[in-house]
Amino acid sequence: MIGVVGPDAAGKSTLIAGLTRLGYRTRHIAQEHSFVKDMWQRLTNPQVLVFLDVSYPASCHRRKRDWTEADWQEQQDRLSHARANADLYLNTDMLTAEEVLNRVVEFMKIRP
């Protein structure tokens, strides 16, 4: 089971769709909306935790949404435990969806 966490607009849904298409068992863990720091462990406790990150400016560009940097920072704070415990961390600002998928698949190939 691959758990995927990260702030809004980081590319979690797109990654999960790609991994699922390739036959991986995945789960979106909505840690960014929870005040419980280890919710990702309580809900899923995945064998692999992938953390997708995105900067505030990139998230605004991707979603065309009206949210403040304080809102983004709140999600970052809520995600700190998952980020610290992630097996793979990717900042997706400069990556295409295909590049993100390829990096996660390559990472999975080298996992014992």
Domain boundaries, the chain: 2-110
Bridge partners of 49, per DSSP, are: 3
pLDDT digits (tens, 9 = 90+) for 41-71: 777 889 999 999 999 999 999 877 778 999 9
d(CA 35, CA 24): 28
Q: Token digits for 81?
A: 């435990």
Question: Do 62 and 12 meet the contact criterion of CB atoms below 8 Å apart?
Answer: no
What per-residue confidence (pLDDT) applies to 33? 62
Average pLDDT value for residue range 69-88 = 93
pTM more than 0.95:
no
- Residue in 10, 47, 8 with CA at minimum distance from that of residue 27: 47
Q: What's the pLDDT at 52?
A: 98
Assigned architecture for domain 2-110: 3-Layer(aba) Sandwich (3.40)
What pLDDT does residue 64 have?
74
